[in-house]
Structures are given as C-alpha cells and as structure tokens.
Amino acid sequence: MNADDFQNGQILLLDKPLNWTSFQVVNKMKWALKTKLDLKKIKIGHAGTLDPLATGLLLVCTGKFTKRITELQGQAKEYTGTFFIGATTPSYDLETEIDANFPISHIDPELIQETTKQFLGEIDQKPPIYSAIKKDGVRLYEHARAGETIEIASRKTSIHEFEITRIELPEIDFRVICSKGTYIRSLAFDFGKALNSGAHLTALRRTKIGDYAVSDAIDVATFENSILPNQEASL
C-alpha cells in the first residue's frame, strides 16, 4: 500500500503485545508510516483501549477511516483470560499486589458454572479505581496512586456470553463476549464476590471486535518491517 492508501483510510488489525499501552502501538505505527512514506502528517487512532497487561486485537484506523473509530468501538468484543480465585488486588489485576485472601474450599465446578449465570445480560458494573476514567477532571488511577478514596458510580454494561473453559483452582479460564465499556477486571472482582470469595484477573486477551478477529492480526514488528523493509525495526 502507498501513502494515498493510508490517507484514504485503512483498518489495520494489530496484535498488541504484553506491557505495551495502546497509545504506544499507535505511536509506533504512526512513526513507521511517516518515515517510510515520507508523510509530514497522517491521522491515526485506535478503536478501543487495551490495558498494558492485556494482549490481543487492537483495531488501528488511518486517514479518513479515523471517522469510523466511534462505530468500531461500539461493536461487541470477545475476550479470553484467567481469573485467580481466593485473592484480590486494588487494581483487580496484576498491576498491584494482593491485598486480601479468601477461602476457596467451598467452591466447586457446579458453583462456578451457576455463578456465571448471574452475569449474563445487562448488569451494573463499577469501573476499577485503577482506570483512565476521569472524575472531577482527574483520571481515577491518579486518585488511586495518591491514596485517595473516590466514590465510583456504577454503569450499565451487557454480557452476551460467559463461558468457563478451564477449572483448576485457584485458576479459572473464561471466554466472554460483552458490550462496549465492560471492564473484565471488574468482572473478575465481582465474580469472586459472587463466589463468596475473592478474585483478580491474571491474564487477558482480546480475540474479537465485531467481525474482526485476532487470528487475522499481525504483530507490531511485522507491521513495522513491512513498512520499513530496508531498515531494522526496533521494539
């Protein structure tokens, strides 16, 4: 593809690596496009943030297709991952250390499967305190890191499918299809409470956004090398 192709608009499927922010992926791609194609500027953005500790499908729009970002963000998303049962963390994932432990001896496969039914359909969910949502003009994670206690309002979200794919306590693997705005970290925390225990997220991968699948995505290095064939890509 040439410069006009990217300016006219492309939807690029990227497999975001672990420990990268979505912003870093977009910046890397923007630099590659501008360098190889000698562009002074190009519009580029992603359709749905993934946490640094998550991997998987990131839709990146270029040129005129950046107008489609809102449309793409509204599509259903599929995730797979792992809950650790019996312990919680303030961030609901591995960003922070375990702050409480809970019993799991009462938990069996039947209870786990029954509990998933509580989360199907429209649910009320509170975003994690360690999230980028703003309250009073300040992102929640900034309040959290400052040790401030903030009241977070719940919001409506929808879980279309919730499947348990592996049970080896204290770990549970899952697959979820959900609406825009769903926090899987919050789902982990709430699922632990519903089991009369605790839980946090230890792995997360976004596998689909609408009809787009991570199986059709490329990694950042492959994209960079394809745009910069005569230069060594550095991650």
**Residue 78, both tokens:** 């599929």
Cα 204 to chain center, whole Å?
Answer: 7
CB neighbours of 217 closer than 8 A, spacing ≥ 6? 13, 14, 15, 57, 58
Separation between Cα atoms, residue 214 and residue 91, nearest integer Å: 26
DSSP per-residue letters across 9-26: -EEEEEEEPTT--HHHHH
Helix ranges (DSSP H) in the chain: 3-8, 22-37, 69-73, 109-116, 140-145, 184-194, 220-227
Contact 207, 50 (CB under 8 A): no
Q: Which residues are catalytic?
A: 51
Separation between Cα atoms, residue 80 and residue 208, nearest integer Å: 10
Return the residue matching tokens 């204290």: 170
- DSSP state for residue 144 in the 8-state scheme: H
Separation between Cα atoms, residue 120 and residue 103, nearest integer Å: 25
Output the CA angle 202-126-110, nearest 5 degrees: 55
